[in-house]
Amino acid sequence: EAQVTQNPRYLITVTGKKLTVTCSQNMNHEYMSWYRQDPGLGLRQIYYSMNVEVTDKGDVPEGYKVSRKEKRNFPLILESPSPNQTSLYFCASSSTKAINQPQHFGDGTRLSIL
Amino acid sequence: GENVEQHPSTLSVQEGDSAVIKCTYSDSASNYFPWYKQELGKRPQLIIDIRSNVGEKKDQRIAVTLNKTAKHFSLHITETQPEDSAVYFCAATLLYNQGGKLIFGQGTELSVKP
């Protein structure tokens, strides 16, 4: 089944404790991105990647890191999480480098930073 | 920077009525406009999209119209059903260099009353 898989689905942690949210897609997609969803603000892009070893900042990259060492994986890293990073996170992928293709979303990861 | 404004933020209709959600964008180079539906606790899912070379697209009870001159696009749902209740997001592409990203609207919570 074609899908985008995120782990974990839920995480409660404390300020300053490094964490990684994994994202993997099995559709051989070129473009992958991370979004955070907050009430009243819609979906805001954190980082995106058009290809292996190519990443770029989205609208809200502060406090986050990503890597794209393999085509299928695009982990989101919070080196020193803070409470303002409490949010619902979605990973998404699309088939080509061009952004004008449908995005396929994962099921989301709900992070709570205490 | 690029901005996508979405209205209304909440919309309540009676079953069988029509619902219209409107979005405006600021980047005249935007060329792809998807609409996503997000049911409670679930991932956003693409329901319809339109490209800048088309003025209107229809898929059963759902249609999208695009006015490039005015830089706005709208989602129309006819004969609404309770299962149409969800949050709907519009988005527009922001293109630059060899890449780009999707900018999302703030979302519209649609409630269809039986």
- Rounded to an integer, the average pLDDT of B78-99 is 89
Q: How far apart are CA A36 and CA B89, in angstroms?
A: 14
pLDDT tens by residue, B31-68: 899 999 999 999 999 999 999 888 999 999 999 999 99
Put simply, whether A69 touches B (Cβ < 8 Å) is no
Please give the backbone phi and psi of residue B94, each rounded to the nearest 5 degrees, phi first. Answer: -115, 115
Q: Please give the pLDDT value at position B98.
A: 63
**Interface touch B93/A59, C-beta < 8 Å:** no
User: What is B40-104 written as a DSSP string?
Assistant: TTS--EEEEEEETT-SEEEETTEEEEEETTTTEEEEEE-S--GGG-EEEEEEEEEEETTEEEEEE
pLDDT tens by residue, A3-25: 999 999 999 999 999 999 999 99
| Residue A97 scores a pLDDT above 80 | no
Q: Please give the pLDDT value at position B95.
A: 74
- Taking alpha carbons only, the member of A90, A36, A25, A92 closest to residue A62 is A36
Q: Please give the pLDDT value at position B101.
A: 83
Put simply, whether A57 touches B (Cβ < 8 Å) is no
Name chain A contacts of B105, Cβ cutoff 8 Å.
42
Exposure pattern of A54-81 as b/e (b: 16+ CB <10 Å)? Answer: ebbebbbbeebebbbeeebbbbbebeeb
Name chain A contacts of B35, Cβ cutoff 8 Å.
none
Q: How far apart are CA B36 and CA B38, in angstroms?
A: 7
Strand partners, B58: B63
Closest CA–CA distance from residue A96 to any residue of chain B (Å): 11
Q: Which is it for the CA torsion A72, B96, B72, A39, positive or negative? A: positive
Name chain B contacts of A42, Cβ cutoff 8 Å.
6, 89, 104-107
DSSP A16: T
User: In terms of CA atoms, which chain B residue is nearest residue A32?
Assistant: B101
Q: Please give the pLDDT value at position B93.
A: 86
**Interface touch A99/B102, C-beta < 8 Å:** yes
Put simply, whether A2 touches B (Cβ < 8 Å) is no
Q: Please give the pLDDT value at position B96.
A: 67
User: In terms of CA atoms, which chain B residue is nearest residue A91?
Assistant: B43
pLDDT tens by residue, A56-81: 998 899 999 999 999 999 999 999 99
- Taking alpha carbons only, the member of B56, B99, B91 closest to residue B76 is B56
pLDDT tens by residue, B91-100: 998 876 666 7
Q: Please give the pLDDT value at position A95.
A: 87
Closest CA–CA distance from residue B19 to any residue of chain A (Å): 20
**Interface touch A107/B42, C-beta < 8 Å:** yes
- Under 8 Å between Cβ of A10 and B75: no
% of chain B beyond a pLDDT of 90: 80
Picking from A35, A53, A100, A107 by the largest number of B CB atoms within 10 A of its own CB, the best residue to mutate is A100
- Provide CB contacts within 8 A for B96, sequence distance 6+: none
- Provide CB contacts within 8 A for B97, sequence distance 6+: none
- Share the mean pLDDT of chain A: 94
Q: How confident is the model at residue B88 (pLDDT cuts 50, 70, 90)?
A: very high
- Share the mean pLDDT of chain B: 93
**Interface touch A106/B42, C-beta < 8 Å:** no
- Taking alpha carbons only, the member of B92, B82, B90, B83 closest to residue B108 is B90
Lowest mean pLDDT segment, chosen from A32-36, A50-54, A79-83, B94-98:
B94-98
| Residue B1 scores a pLDDT above 90 | no
